[in-house]
Structure 1
Amino acid sequence: MERINCDFSPMKEILIEDITNLITALQNNMEAIVDENNCLLSNFEKTKEDFLSIEMKAATFYLNCYLSPFTDKYPELSVCVQNLSRLRHGGLIVIEREDSLESLVKPGISIGAELTHTLLESIFYPGSPLHDGAVMVNQNQIVSATNVLPLSGRFTGDQKLGTRHRAALGLTEQSDALVLVVSEETGRVSFAFKGELYPIMTQVM
């Protein structure tokens, strides 16, 4: 069983309210569909958007749960990925948890500094000699940069993912690490955990 700390009441309340509203909307759609004069296609589109919003909020909530036992620097990480996303600067941040990553990661350049969002952002600034590869975080420290992660081979053909996302999946398929990914192309932020990718909403982190 995954060890998580999910005592974040405000976000729980938001999720419960959103899910309740979605259930109400679905019930209203079910009642309205018997009337052949009603076209519910726009309602379904809105429902889909609401569901995706709930999914992203839930992913953000659980991201905090998964990180909180292993680092106190969630606020710094949050500010970092929001700024990277806004500027469309790609980023790949590994948060070590219980599993040793020594045999899975090709080590990069040692940093050994306290984790701050400004330092992380400077590492991933385009043109920086450290911006390629992954940053390793252990507890509240940036351990190293330019680390090379194993790539997942699961997504091929039409399911195209960038190298950062494949690296995030590859490491989390083989360990309990959590990996934050910021897309350089879209600015979207996701996290990989247990071999799955979850989009997150930076504005509610």
Structure 2
Amino acid sequence: MDKGGCDFSPMELTIKEDIRQVITALQKNVEMMGDENYCLLGNFEKIKEEFLSIEMKAATFYLNCYLSPFTDKYPELSTCVQNMSKLKHGGLIVIQREDPLQSLMKPGITIGAELTHSLLESIFFPGNPLHDGAVLVSRNQIVSAANVLPLSDRLSGGKKLGTRHRAALGLSEQSDALVLVVSEETGRVSFAIGGNLHPIITHGSL
């Protein structure tokens, strides 16, 4: 998928080095397998954590690349999901790219305001009548709120995903839209694009 003209060189070097370190650790495990006093299990857990860290670094970088051709408000979106993540306020934000979305969504309430993190956060504040649906962003505008998205039937680890994550995947399976999701259970932030869900870093690194 096109990453949109971002300069990938510095991040590419970081990720390559991280991958090399994981490969080195895996090779060491292979070499040590003949030692009956050596247990692989603890190292597998550490390597899994390193893989997740690499994925999150790459996803965080690519998120900006995917968004930058379609909105100038990446810093506002970043601040919004960081703050919502800390408070564990659930949220679902659709960023329209090239595909029209009207036929794929049940329309909600028209907003028609400039995108700011404070307005987005207020929409998703618990108890706000609009907080349960998805916000639609087009370019630098919040177009509408309380939109209903198509749900995916996908499973994750053999388990059903939550409604927000299923909605994010459902729309991304049928369009090129990018959908940000904040989990109210864990505060974790992910984005869906092309029918795939990617976790991103939320501790000041977006």
Aligned to 1:2: 2
Matched letter for residue 121 of structure 1: E
Deviation at 1:11, TM superposition (A): 2.9
Deviation at 1:14, TM superposition (A): 2.5
> Which one is further off, 177-186 or 17-26?
17-26
Q: Unaligned regions of 5+ residues in structure 1, if any?
A: none
Deviation at 1:84, TM superposition (A): 0.7
Matched letter for residue 106 of structure 1: K
Secondary structure (helix, strand or coil) at the match of 1:103 reads helix
Q: Give, in whole Å, the separation in 2 of the partners of 1:170 and 1:134.
A: 12
Matched, 1:160 2:163: no
Q: Give, in whole Å, the separation in 1 of the partners of 2:155 and 2:43.
A: 33
Q: Give, in whole Å, the separation in 2 of the partners of 1:48 and 1:62.
A: 21
> Which one is further off, 66-75 or 27-36?
27-36
Contact 1:5-1:68 at 8 Å conserved across structures: no
> Which one is further off, 114-123 or 10-19?
10-19
Aligned to 1:41: 41
Contact 1:109-1:147 at 8 Å conserved across structures: yes
TM-score scaled by length of structure 1: 0.92
Aligned to 1:108: 108
- CA RMSD, aligned part only? 1.9
Q: Give, in whole Å, the separation in 2 of the partners of 1:3 and 1:62.
A: 6
Deviation at 1:3, TM superposition (A): 5.5
- Number of aligned residues: 205
> Which one is further off, 17-26 or 113-122?
17-26
Deviation at 1:137, TM superposition (A): 0.5
Aligned to 2:119: 119
Aligned to 2:90: 90
Q: Give, in whole Å, the separation in 2 of the partners of 1:61 and 1:149.
A: 26
Matched, 1:185 2:182: no
Q: Unaligned regions of 5+ residues in structure 2, if any?
A: none
Q: Give, in whole Å, the separation in 2 of the partners of 1:123 and 1:46.
A: 39
Deviation at 1:8, TM superposition (A): 4.4
Q: Give, in whole Å, the separation in 2 of the partners of 1:6 and 1:85.
A: 26
Q: Give, in whole Å, the separation in 2 of the partners of 1:15 and 1:75.
A: 23
Deviation at 1:172, TM superposition (A): 0.9
Aligned to 2:172: 172
Aligned to 2:149: 149
Distance 1:103 1:48, change over 3 A: same
Q: Give, in whole Å, the separation in 1 of the partners of 2:194 and 2:116.
A: 26
Deviation at 1:32, TM superposition (A): 2.1
Secondary structure (helix, strand or coil) at the match of 1:171 reads helix
Contact 2:183-2:189 at 8 Å conserved across structures: yes
* Deviation string, structure 1 residues 72-100 (Cα, Å, up to 9, x no partner): 11111111111111101000000000000
